[in-house]
Amino acid sequence: MINNKKIAYLGLGSNIGERIVYIEKVISELENSGNISILKISGIYETEPWGNIRQDDYLNAVLKIVTELGPMELLVELKSLEKKIGRTGNRKWSEREIDIDILFYEDFIIKNENLNIPHSFIEERKFVLVPLAEIAPDFIHPVLKKSAAEMLSTSDDKLGVTLYGNVKTEVL
């Protein structure tokens, strides 16, 4: 039998309400999913908003997962999970109860109206690069051909990214 499991990286973000509860709910739901297994969880970071800066700070994390779902199936499952957990609204760069983004899916490059993989602007966003470099410093961006650690070291992003509480990286 051929193994169809693929590695993907997910970005989590929340800046409305009980931010930590939303992040923890995503992790719990994914751990109990039959379609997705979590391999690594970054620390949780408090970050200044990027884009629309007139909003509260975010909590962000990155997950390394394995799944048999294809990229579009994974997107559908994650958007359904966002709604289940309580996401309302969908405007670009708006405040969010929870946001789950597919950052990378193997070394796939997909660009259409529904999905961009690798996720846009990763190399410009320390709120993604810090937790990504924590759990996968050697992961190579399939377009830029730079590792997560290299992208972080050359990022011009000056926004604050600090570890939130005593949350540590967990390898499952």
Q: Give residue 123's pLDDT.
A: 95
Q: Residue 152 pLDDT > 80, yes or no?
A: yes
Is residue 157 assigned to a domain?
Answer: yes
- Mean pLDDT (whole number) for 72-87: 91
Catalytic site residue from 99, 125, 156, 157: 99
- 69 or 2: which leads in pLDDT: 69
**Is 91 among the residues known to form the active site?**
no
Is residue 155 assigned to a domain?
Answer: yes
- Mean pLDDT (whole number) for 114-119: 95
Catalytic site residue from 57, 91, 96, 138: 96
Q: Show the domain range for 58.
A: 6-167
Q: Give residue 172's pLDDT.
A: 41
Is residue 90 assigned to a domain?
Answer: yes
Q: Give residue 94's pLDDT.
A: 60
Q: What is the pLDDT of residues 99-115, one digit of tens each?
A: 999 999 999 999 999 89
Is residue 172 assigned to a domain?
Answer: no
Determine what percent of the chain is predicted with pLDDT higher than 70. 88
DSSP-assigned states of every residue in the chain: -----EEEEEEEEE-SSSHHHHHHHHHHHHHT-SSEEEEEEPPPEEE--SSS-SSPPEEEEEEEEEESS-HHHHHHHHHHHHHHHT-----TT---S-EEEEEEETT--EESSS-EESPTTGGG-HHHHHHHHHH-TTPBPTTT--BHHHHHHH----S-EEE-TT---EE-
Catalytic site residue from 56, 57, 87, 156: 87
Question: How many distinct structural domains can be found in the chain?
Answer: 1
Is residue 140 assigned to a domain?
Answer: yes
Q: Residue 24 pLDDT > 80, yes or no?
A: yes
Q: Give residue 169's pLDDT.
A: 46
Report the CATH number that the domain containing residue 114 is assigned in CATH: 3.30.70.560
Catalytic site residue from 19, 101, 125, 157: 101
**Is 99 among the residues known to form the active site?**
yes
Is residue 1 assigned to a domain?
Answer: no
